[in-house]
Each structure stands twice: as structure tokens, then as C-alpha cells.
Chain A
Amino acid sequence: MLPEHTVMLSLLLIVFFSLIFSHQLKGLKRRGFVAEPNPLLLKMLSIMRHIYRNNLSSFIALARLESSRQILSSQLKLLAQNLSLGRSAETMSFNTPFLNLSLSDLYTRNEQKINELLFQELVKDLRKRLFTSNVRNIVTIVLTSITMAPVVIIISALFHQEGVLALLPIIASLFYGITLQLIIVVLKRYASILI
């Protein structure tokens, strides 16, 4: 393969990886950085329920919340619609409208368990999972590859096979693509925590 061909091929790879990355990042922004089920979302729902029990006008406030692309707002607006069906705080405990909501239903069924899992457990879990399992291993593999690849090429080139040097642009573009995928993985993990 001629060097011109590998340069063109690596260019196409860089363009391809960049487009895929931009598409993934737009998807991440469109979803609004909120992963379901999220303990923080459940905590907010519990607070809303608490406020509703103490103040009947709060469902009006919930219904008037600004519409947003966030999952959080849509779930709460749904909650408000259920609350505003002529029910009072007293009847709520007998005929709860929360059953219509999957997240609220999840909350009522696993209230104790979810409370235990909140915040502190989340941080502990984060410490274990954020970089330890996948990302750090992948980074190590990528770095090892990127430092070992030129060594192999040098040894081949020393045996008067200078054509193998043309493989370097392909290696660089693959490194670029893998790096972008790693960035997406890490940003997704941050985003699911920072809602």
C-alpha cells in the first residue's frame, strides 16, 4: 500500500470517527443527562410528595413547572396531572395516584432500599465503577498499543521493509477513534451523576 493511500484512508477514518462522536454527543445532550432510574430523581419525587401532603396548592405549582426536554420535568408534570384529578391529601393515602407512575411505584415499593442507596452509597459506587473497571483497562490497552506499535514497525523497518512505516497513519487514526469513544463513556458516567 502506498503512503498516499494510507493517508487518505486515515483521513476517512478520522472523519468517520468524528461524525460518530458528534452524533453520540448530541444524543447525550438531547436526553438531558438524566439516566433512569436515578436515585436523585427518586429523592426529588419523595420531596414533592412530602410537600404535597403539607400543602394542597403545590400540585398547581407542579403543573405550572416550565416544560423542558429533561426527563425529570416530564415525570413531575405527569405526577402533577395525576395529583390534580380532584384528590385531596387524605384520599391520597388510600387511593394513591402514584401507582400510575412507574418511578413513583418503584419508590413506594422500595422506599427503604432506595433511601439506603441514596448519595453516600452512590458516591461509593461511583468510586468503584467510574474509572476502575472498564475505562482504566481500556486506557491501559490503548496506551500500550500506541507505544508498542512503533516498536514493531521499527523492528520491521530495520529489516529493510520501509513500507511498513505507511501503517502509522492508520494507527494514529484508530487511536483517535478509540479516544473519542472513551471520552463518551466517561462523560456519560459524569452526566448520570451530575443531574
Chain B
Amino acid sequence: MALIIKAVFLALVFASNSFLFFFSMTSNFLLSSSCSLTVAFFVYTVIKDCIEVVTELNNCFTDYEAFYSFTTKSIESLGRQRNLLSLLKETYKMSHKESEAQLKTKGIVRDLLYRRTSGAKRTNPSSATKISSPLTRLAFSLLEKLNLVDEASLRNLVTSLHDLSFSLHLNAKKLREFIVVEKLKYRVLQMASSMTLGLVMKTFFAFAKFSFVNPIPSALVFISFASLSITIFTVFTCIIQLRYPSFKDLAICFIILAVIIFLPPYGYV
């Protein structure tokens, strides 16, 4: 539901910008409205797909954390337990609901225990225990299906899985740090593009006073164009940083744009 609301909100922002843009060019209300509605529908489809993929990739990060947490706890209790089932029970008892990853670990181990003991699948597994990462899903699926694991094999299995999960966790952690650095770079680019557009519009206002026969509609075209391009760029930067565009992101760009146009020393022309 939250996903649909976000997609609808962004599609409406796009549609309102497009409507202003088209209407300032054609002055044909029907044409502008119909084009804007079509744009809204297609942008909604695109944004919804993007949010789904971003959610799935973000879930991969949580899966790696949960997998790492699970294997770390298993390693800790390996000295006390001699078979897989008792190891899973011990791990389940050690899991606390401290974070999203911990909560997921607890849920996954609970489902795993249920399947191993009863041999049946849960009809309605909760969304909190749904695993997005194929590699993590495969590892837990292997644990579910393994039988006749002796003590030596169990030790090898858990050590191997811990080795894998540690590497995955490290990889994901570094990737997140990398995304944070990129976020700052794109924020600078975003501000620079907003400021440039604001300056261009200001120049337009200054010269239009002397040259244009009818400058107001042209000024509207520029303002709408600037709004639309800023919106597209904001959504783009948010998606490639694997997060959702918020109203705050859009507001920051428009404030920068407004400040460049209206504030002294240039003043409103």
C-alpha cells in the first residue's frame, strides 16, 4: 500500500509539472489535460516498477545481515550442540528482536524449525521472513533439506556458511558506504543543475523585458521546463541511491531554484 502511495504521489508531481509545461505552450486545456493524464499513467507504471526493484535490492542487504547474524550465532553454539535441529533451536533462543535483520533471523529460523519438525510448509509465511537474496534463500533451503548430518559435517557446514556470510556481509557493508559517498556527489550535481537553471531563467527575465513581444507565456514555459527537469533528476538520483524519493528532496531543489531567481543582489526583474 505504501508503495502505491509513493508511486501515485510521484506520478502526480510529474503530471502537474507536465500539465503546467504543456498548458504554457499550447493554451489548449483539453490537449494539456489528456497528455498529462497519459504521462501520469506511464510515469506511475515506471516508478512502481522502480520502487519494487529498489525494495528487493534493499531486502538483499537485510538478508545478508540476517544470514550473517544466524551463522555467527550458530558458530557460538556449535561447541554445545551436536546435531542440526538442536543447533537451530539454540540459535532461535539466542535471537533477539533488536533490529530488522535480527527480527528476520528469528522469523526465518522459526519457519525453518517448523518445516523440519512438521515436514510441511507454512501456508501463509509472513512478509518479514520472505528472503529476497537467491544465495541466502538457497543456503536456508539447504539447511531445511539436509538430513543425517553428523557432528564433523555439521561443523564443516556451519564454518563454510559462516565464511560465505561474512564475505557477503562485508561486501554489502562496503557497497552501502560506497553509495553514501555517491549520494553526496550527486547532491552537489543536483544543486549545480538547479542553480544553473535558475540563473538561465533570471537571464531570460532580464532580456525578455527589452526584447520579447509577449514574455509572460515564454517565462512560464521556462519555469515549467525547469520544474520538470529538476523532478526527473531528483527521482533519478534517489533511485540509483537505492532509496525512495521524498517530498523533502523535491522541496530542496525548488527552494534552491526559487532563491536563485528571486533573492538580491539581482532582485526580481
Contacts and interface: CB of A to CB of B under 8 A. Distances in A.
A150 B232 contact: no
Interface residues of B, number: 80
Given A61-B147, A193-B171, A193-B175, A154 B160 contact: no
Interface in B94-153: 133-135, 137-139, 141-142, 145-150, 152-153
Given A179-B232, A183-B236, A187-B53, A7 B26 contact: yes
A29 to B, nearest CB: 7
B21 interface: yes
Contacts of A47: 160-161, 163-164
Contacts, number: 213
A34 interface: yes
B77 interface: no
Contact of A194 (B43, B133, B156, B218): B133
B8 interface: no
Please classify how large the interface on chain A is, using the bins under 10, 10 to 19, 20 to 34, 35 or more: 35 or more
Main secondary structure of the interface of B (DSSP, over half): helix
Interface of B: 21-22, 25-26, 28, 31-32, 35, 38-39, 42-43, 45-46, 49-50, 53, 56-57, 60-61, 133-135, 137-139, 141-142, 145-150, 152-153, 156-157, 160-161, 163-164, 167-168, 170-172, 174-175, 178, 182, 186, 189, 192-193, 196-197, 200-201, 203-204, 207, 211-213, 218, 221-222, 225-226, 228-229, 232-233, 235-236, 239-240, 242
